[in-house]
Amino acid sequence: MQIINLVKLFFLNALNYGLFPSLIILYFEILGLLKFKNINELRIVEDINTSYLASKSQQKYNTAYIPTPYYFLFLIKKYLIRKKIKKFNFIDLGCGYSRPANYLNYYFNISYVGIDINKDIINSLNSNKNFKYYSLDLRNKKKFFKIINDNFKNEKIIFYLSDPFDINLVNDILVSSYKKKLVHKIIMINAKYNMIKKKYFILDFEKKFNKRSVAILKPKIQ
């Protein structure tokens, strides 16, 4: 089943990123699977109830889960090393099976919170002492910031978003976090950073793949 998922991911990536980048992604995917041996992260959760159209018609966020390519995580790792960021708080909005946390925790000292609306995924995850998971609709801002305060004591955080959901909701969360002086960096996978309000954030790194990208933003005032 997981081999089928790997093949499916390759063809999805070829459509989204182009053939040559997809071959690089496949190479890093094989290396990552051999190194970390976490086959569960290769799952794809996608059905009629988790499509973007269903999300809009039901007026709630419940989109598909597709794992972040190991190649993208490699690029993020290089950025963090270059910036000499060794220890950080990390919150994954729409975490799925938490591949970014498992990868980055191998190289850095991280405190991690993963949030996903899919209760089945959250209930299937085993947390370690640095990992906490919550099932939450992110429109519940009061509970969201309580989670942040409970886990990070209102310290600065690296926010992580892969294939972000409602961009208006994303902006609301990030701007509110900026005003609370919580944002250290924002890592965005497959999103146009210019959709994020430039009044508050500026681009610090970008690697483009066809019409998609890995982008890292920083607050205008650190």
User: How does DSSP assign 144-161, residue by residue?
Assistant: HHHHHHHHHTT--EEEEE
pLDDT at 133: 95
pLDDT at 168: 83
pLDDT at 60: 45
CA distance 60 to 39: 29
Is 13 within 8 Å of 21 (Cβ atoms)? yes
Q: What is the pTM of this model?
A: 0.83
- Spell out the residues 6+ positions from residue 3 whose beta carbon is closer than 8 angstroms to its own: none
Q: What is the pLDDT along the chain (222 residues), one digit of tens a residue?
A: 556 655 666 666 666 677 788 888 888 988 888 888 776 665 555 544 444 444 444 444 445 557 788 999 999 999 999 999 999 999 999 888 888 998 999 999 999 999 998 888 888 887 777 799 999 988 899 999 999 999 999 899 999 998 877 778 888 999 999 999 999 999 998 876 667 777 899 999 999 887 678 999 999 876
Of residues 139, 141, 145, the one with CA closest to residue 58? 139
The domains of the chain, with CATH numbers, are 2-57 (no CATH), 70-219 (3.40.50.150)
